[in-house]
Structure 1
Amino acid sequence: MRQVINRAGIRENLDITKIREKLLRACDNLEVNMVELESHIESIYAENITTKKIQESLINQAVSMTSFEESDWTYVAGRLLMMETEREVFHKRGFSYGEFYKSIKTLVEIGIYDNRLLDYTTEEVKELETAMDISRDMMYDYAGANMFVNRYLLKYDGKIYELPQEVFMCIAMLLAINEKDKVSVAKRFYEALSLKKISLATPILANLRVPNGNLSSCFITAMDDNI
């Protein structure tokens, strides 16, 4: 039985079933032939390869298969990258989606998040968590996912420490924090942000949930020419 090295540095048997499950999720409702990507699993296998490296190789393979005729491969790559990111965050902090209040509290304590997020009660955060739709992580092509992961997700000790839908909800919470019915308003902000109905400027998307984050941004306007 072939072996790989998992994220904890432990050798384990190569489980093709787990890889196939990820590929099925990544290819769901897209116009691609999953078997074409699956056929490359054997070629990327090498002695002492890590599970992380296998995932990265599959992402790169999906990117290389993207063409004008088969453009959906870029969404396969984006989905695989989002799944890899969720796995990395889980390994780093010990929990993934489903423990939103714990995520906020942890990131506030280590100095990543603005402590105003704790102005929301545990019950309010739990209510907001029910509005989070983690399937929306699967909406990105590779370029979008790559930018989101590497540019906007906050890191601690060099490792990604938050997840995409947490980003949108935390931003929504801070945008709504002074509203009378802040939970309801935060939900509306979250829906618009997570469904890409509105696009925030980079300083807001990157810094709004950071302690003392700089929210200054340039903008384009038009004026008459008096020359």
Structure 2
Amino acid sequence: MHTDTSRENPQAQAPQATDGNLELSATAPGQLRVIKRNGTVVPYTDDKITVAITKAFLAVEGGTAAASSRIHETVARLTEQVSATFKRRMPSGGTIHIEEIQDQVELALMRAGEQKVARDYVIYRESRSQERKRGGSEVAEPHPSLRVTHLDGSVAPLDMGRLNTIVTEACEGLAEVDGALIQKETLKNLYDGVAQSDVSTALVMTARTLVEREPNYSYVTARLLMDNIRAEGLGFLGVATSATHHEMVDFYAKALPAYIDKGIELELLNPVLKTFDLEKLGRAIDHERDQQFTYLGLQTLYDRYFIHKDGTRFELPQIFFMRVAMGLAIEEKQKEDRAIEFYNLLSSFDYMASTPTLFNAGTLRPQLSSCYLTTVPDDLGGIYDAIRDNALLSKFAGGLGNDWTPVRALGAYIKGTNGKSQGVVPFLKVVNDTAVAVNQGGKRKGAVCAYLETWHMDIEEFIELRKNTGDDRRRTHDMNTANWIPDLFMKRVFDDGSWTLFSPSEVPDLHDLTGKAFEERYEYYEALTQYGKIKLFKTIQAKDLWRKMLSMLFETG
């Protein structure tokens, strides 16, 4: 097989830019132009396509075929087809990336029935691509006019070779995505002296705008974002200033022990992690799993989950999963083997742990539980103890469910003060504001839900807590509410019967009963109201309360 690059690159021999300025012929109005991989723009010429197709035929049929009139005629026809395609698309001139030309050459060969030649052309083109990835002709190819400002203030030409490598890797294995388009649109958004971080941002933003056109661009965008994450994490750990996806096959194993050391030094990780066989765990990391993320998934991990120091994330995706796996395996006998098992489950997305586990596993405070369910007692000290517990649990990412049914209703007698209760609602306002103030370690909003049974006298106000109208002092817009409905209530709804509301201070055992025992006790308390034995109660139509519940569901969700 020939090694002349002009075979793969039909425009390789076109005039180059001189002294950072494009030749006039490359920018003339109405002229078709070609963007090469190094960013230079050159005129489109038929003869370079003819040379490339001819060499593809000679590679298959041998050098003696050079004198064949059949091949000359076929090459001329195919060249005309390729050129006609672009002239038809852009009658007023325009810019074409070199990859687009190569795509059209492949297509023309296939349509002409020259499958063997097309196959050889594809194989050669791929081999050239792999050479470039391994550090060949596309390493450190300077852009003719765009310069980049690095973190240390130094200015250097935009490295088109690395830009192409990053975009090519991002598009690997994905159908219906166009790396050349991403590069072309990105270059439009850059300017001379642009910051290096802004180059990365421009790549991500360009790919993100294409997601609506083709969902696979979500994976492309995530992979471009990964380049930023790698640079940030590896740079902080002192492992490398940057790395491509394929280079991470080596860098992940080097980064893991550096990450553990740094995390322990910064008092963010449990020192016990140092006792693991980090070399064994490093070999188990699969860098290819970085390619599984969609953009939203990876951005969420970066924003909320990765461990950071002063805003600098030094946790990479696979190290993140390994840290969680190590935290889960700390107490296991064969902890390395168990950690690798956990890692494989997490990193393959076959199983995903809850958010508190992902936040806290392997850290100095390994609180791994998701939900905490508590019952609030009917006394002031117990109520505020419950609110304090909510704050402390929320601090370390726990979700909260509070049963408020035992708390006496509005108007109920308070023996200690000889006064009347304000009911459940004012306390729930405090709970709501506590969830806002203590927002799960500063990583996401606090999550709390209040529960109340349907027979509680405050139920009508309770189900209005999330309304957007009314007295805002009796509204809780940032927490959820749940209504425990007994079977007896639904029977009353179906029978168009009445429903009695009580204060739990008058019916203290009702909250702990279920089924038939609940029905019998509830009806007993209803009978007591008839004889004046229970003073604080309210009777309403069951259907009216049911309609109110449904209307609140529609209005507030």
TM superposition score normalised by structure 2: 0.38
Match of 1:182 among 335, 340, 352: 335
Give 5+ residue unaligned stretches, structure 2. 1-144, 240-250, 372-398, 401-483, 488-557
Please tell me whether residue 103 in structure 1 is matched to residue 256 in structure 2. Answer: no
1:163-203: per-residue Cα shift (whole Å, max 9, x none)?
A: 11111111111211222211111111110010011111111
Please tell me whether the aligned partners of residues 7 and 91 of structure 1 are also in contact (alpha carbons under 8 angstroms). no
Please tell me whether residue 115 in structure 1 is matched to residue 375 in structure 2. Answer: no
- The structure with the greater share of residues assigned to strand is 2
SS in 2 for 1:197: coil
Q: Aligned partners of 2:347, 2:152: CA distance in 1, in Å?
A: 32
Structure 1 residue 91 displacement after superposition? 2.2
| Identical residues among aligned pairs (%) | 28
1:73-125: per-residue Cα shift (whole Å, max 9, x none)?
A: 111001111121011112222115232222211211111211121232xxx11
Equivalent residues, number: 221
Matching residue of 1:87:
231
SS in 2 for 1:14: strand
Structure 1 residue 225 displacement after superposition? 5.9
Matching residue of 2:471:
none
Query: Which shifted more, 125-134 or 45-54?
Result: 45-54
Structure 1 residue 58 displacement after superposition? 1.1
Higher normalized contact order (CA 8 Å, seq sep 6+, divided by chain length): 1
Q: Aligned partners of 2:350, 2:328: CA distance in 1, in Å?
A: 16
SS in 2 for 1:19: helix
CA separation of 1:210/1:9 partners in 2, compared to 1, >3 Å: closer, same or farther? farther
Match of 1:6 among 145, 150, 161: 150
Q: Please list, as runs of the form range in 1=range in 2, the aligned pairs for 1:188-199 lying within 5 A after superposition.
A: 188-199=341-352
Please tell me whether the aligned partners of residues 107 and 113 of structure 1 are also in contact (alpha carbons under 8 angstroms). yes
CA separation of 1:9/1:214 partners in 2, compared to 1, >3 Å: closer, same or farther? farther
TM superposition score normalised by structure 1: 0.90
Greater Rg by CA = 2
Please tell me whether residue 209 in structure 1 is matched to residue 362 in structure 2. Answer: yes
Q: Aligned partners of 2:178, 2:311: CA distance in 1, in Å?
A: 36
Amino acid corresponding to residue 54 of structure 1 in structure 2: V
Matching residue of 1:226:
486
Match of 1:27 among 144, 165, 171: 171
Query: Which shifted more, 42-51 or 17-26?
Result: 42-51
Amino acid corresponding to residue 107 of structure 1 in structure 2: G
Query: Which shifted more, 141-150 or 102-111?
Result: 102-111
Q: Aligned partners of 1:7, 1:97: CA distance in 2, in Å?
A: 24
Structure 1 residue 2 displacement after superposition? 2.5
Q: Please list, as runs of the form range in 1=range in 2, the aligned pairs for 1:49-198 lying within 5 A after superposition.
A: 49-67=194-212, 70-95=214-239, 97-99=252-254, 100-120=256-276, 124-198=277-351
Q: Aligned partners of 2:274, 2:187: CA distance in 1, in Å?
A: 48
1:123-145: per-residue Cα shift (whole Å, max 9, x none)?
A: x1101110001121111011111
Q: Aligned partners of 2:285, 2:262: CA distance in 1, in Å?
A: 19
Q: Aligned partners of 1:161, 1:8: CA distance in 2, in Å?
A: 20
SS in 2 for 1:4: strand
